[in-house]
Structure 1
């Protein structure tokens, strides 16, 4: 239930839908809503997003976080980072249009710059809809790495579930060894990427626990299948922090 004290709206933007998370000041989740969109055109996507937001009571929000989950990102060691070459870094792995915006943020615990691009028309629509609100642009990868690095004192393999994509992170001795984003259509796709990355990084899935976070409710069949091939499947970060308590 959204109350007068609810002052943070976090909008998670995926390729086939979006989620609203409503927070209190102490980061406690008050309400969560998921919206799935069949059409892939940006115009239809934005239309659904704006219509959904207009139905919410938004007068009490002081901060809106737009969190994009997409392939338009890269990581650069801070000591090698040149702010005049941000587009070159991302275009090495992704295709960008000439005027696509690029954000760079330092992950201080790892001394890594996280660079990402996003759909600017969504940002424009949100700022037009909420002209007096603070709007913060993030990428799910930045948020995941920044927060999960605090739990990386030992070997950790994480899976973040979106609607039809996953993000995989692997830490070893407080260092980020791997992060990537994968679009998926079936539970077999998900299992393939998890096991393939484990094989390439020489992660023993019979020994190393795999921690599941994110939109897990949608993937119950996937998790049941994972348990046939992976010995230690954990829901959440540890006994004290469950997937419902972990937020981007």
Structure 2
């Protein structure tokens, strides 16, 4: 008997009329997993166009294992998961357990040792994975809860499944749009209770980290603290923001109070989007769109 209870609700769904599951072999399926949401997107590779988006809000979910349980429940009801003929299935996971290591220093045998320097992880509960950033000449080493990993492998075959860390897709997308900047700039991806910060300058990526916040005061503290540590001036430098933030939110209001130049980011321009996406805020669902750049 299934004793797992449903703790999700479908908060948004878009599907282009031209899309059919019979096109799956010509499409990629992208999935963004966090403790607060499971989000899906489909891109038609022949047209290079996003044609499906689904956003499931997770309610009273407190652990990666529970995220995996909800993923299984969604998979039982969602036809997108019945289809195993996708060209690629690419998944991003959001958690604080990651580190970037220069490729010249990287030894696959010591992945766990690298990650232990930066994260409090349990080798019995976490699988250690990696993603190579060719342009950065760096390796992103990250942890994936093995219960969540098992759920993914139950739902999809290993043949076309690729798992990356949220920071990898964020870095790829930001650097692709702004590979070399004459001035240093900060970029933020906002989730509920987590914010990922990048600093990019003339030499490329200079800083990347994830911070957990509870209140707007926590949120702005980390941003101002990193600006100060990176010798950036909140009165001069620009902060570009994507993610779960709106103009009328407490987070945006406190940003305006302390930082002079704030702008909401746009969707990556390397793909087309069904006209049904046009009503969405440009800065939302960036974690899904950015997976398109993680070849």
TM-score range (shorter-chain normalised) is 0.7 to 0.9
> Shift in Å at residue 193 of structure 1?
0.9
> Shift in Å at residue 215 of structure 1?
2.4
Give the direction of change, closer, same or farther, for the CA distance of 1:238–1:55 in structure 2 (3 Å limit): closer
Give me the whole-angstrom Cα distance separating, in 1, the residues matched to 2:194 and 2:187: 14
* In the alignment, structure 1 residue 19 sits paired with structure 2 residue 48: no
Give me the whole-angstrom Cα distance separating, in 1, the residues matched to 2:140 and 2:104: 13
- 1:64 maps to 89
The total of aligned residue pairs comes to 248
CA contact (8 A) 1:21 1:31 kept: yes
Give me the whole-angstrom Cα distance separating, in 2, the residues matched to 1:46 and 1:214: 22
Q: Could you say which structure has the greater relative contact order, defined with CA pairs below 8 angstroms and 6 or more residues apart?
A: 2
> Shift in Å at residue 238 of structure 1?
9.3
Q: Secondary structure at the match of 1:110?
A: coil
Q: Secondary structure at the match of 1:177?
A: strand
- 1:171 maps to 200
Give the direction of change, closer, same or farther, for the CA distance of 1:163–1:55 in structure 2 (3 Å limit): farther
Equivalent residue for 2:180, pick from 153, 159, 167: 153
Give the direction of change, closer, same or farther, for the CA distance of 1:240–1:50 in structure 2 (3 Å limit): closer
* In the alignment, structure 1 residue 193 sits paired with structure 2 residue 219: no
Give me the whole-angstrom Cα distance separating, in 2, the residues matched to 1:55 and 1:108: 38
Q: Which moved more, 1:154-163 or 1:43-52?
A: 43-52
Q: Secondary structure at the match of 1:153?
A: coil
Q: Secondary structure at the match of 1:193?
A: helix
- 2:144 maps to 118
- 2:283 maps to 243
Give the TM-score normalised by structure 2.
0.75
- 2:209 maps to 180
Give the direction of change, closer, same or farther, for the CA distance of 1:219–1:76 in structure 2 (3 Å limit): farther
- 1:210 maps to 239
Give me the whole-angstrom Cα distance separating, in 2, the residues matched to 1:113 and 1:42: 23
Q: Which moved more, 1:237-246 or 1:62-71?
A: 237-246
Give me the whole-angstrom Cα distance separating, in 2, the residues matched to 1:180 and 1:227: 22
Give me the whole-angstrom Cα distance separating, in 1, the residues matched to 2:53 and 2:218: 30
Give matches, 1:20-99, under 5 Å: 20-25=40-45, 26-28=48-50, 30-58=52-80, 59=83, 61-99=86-124
Give the direction of change, closer, same or farther, for the CA distance of 1:54–1:163 in structure 2 (3 Å limit): farther
Give the direction of change, closer, same or farther, for the CA distance of 1:75–1:214 in structure 2 (3 Å limit): same
Give the direction of change, closer, same or farther, for the CA distance of 1:43–1:209 in structure 2 (3 Å limit): closer
Give the TM-score normalised by structure 1.
0.88
Give me the whole-angstrom Cα distance separating, in 1, the residues matched to 2:88 and 2:248: 30
- 2:128 maps to 102
Give me the whole-angstrom Cα distance separating, in 2, the residues matched to 1:112 and 1:70: 19
* Structure 1: segments with no counterpart, 5+ residues: none
Give me the whole-angstrom Cα distance separating, in 1, the residues matched to 2:248 and 2:104: 39
Q: Which moved more, 1:104-113 or 1:230-239?
A: 230-239
Give me the whole-angstrom Cα distance separating, in 1, the residues matched to 2:158 and 2:127: 22
> Shift in Å at residue 219 of structure 1?
7.5
Cα distance per residue 1:99-129 (max 9 Å; x no partner): 4322222211121111111012222222222
> Shift in Å at residue 198 of structure 1?
0.5
Cα distance per residue 1:38-82 (max 9 Å; x no partner): 231444332222212322221264432221111111111112222
Q: CA RMSD in A?
A: 2.6
Cα distance per residue 1:207-233 (max 9 Å; x no partner): 111000122349833112211211111
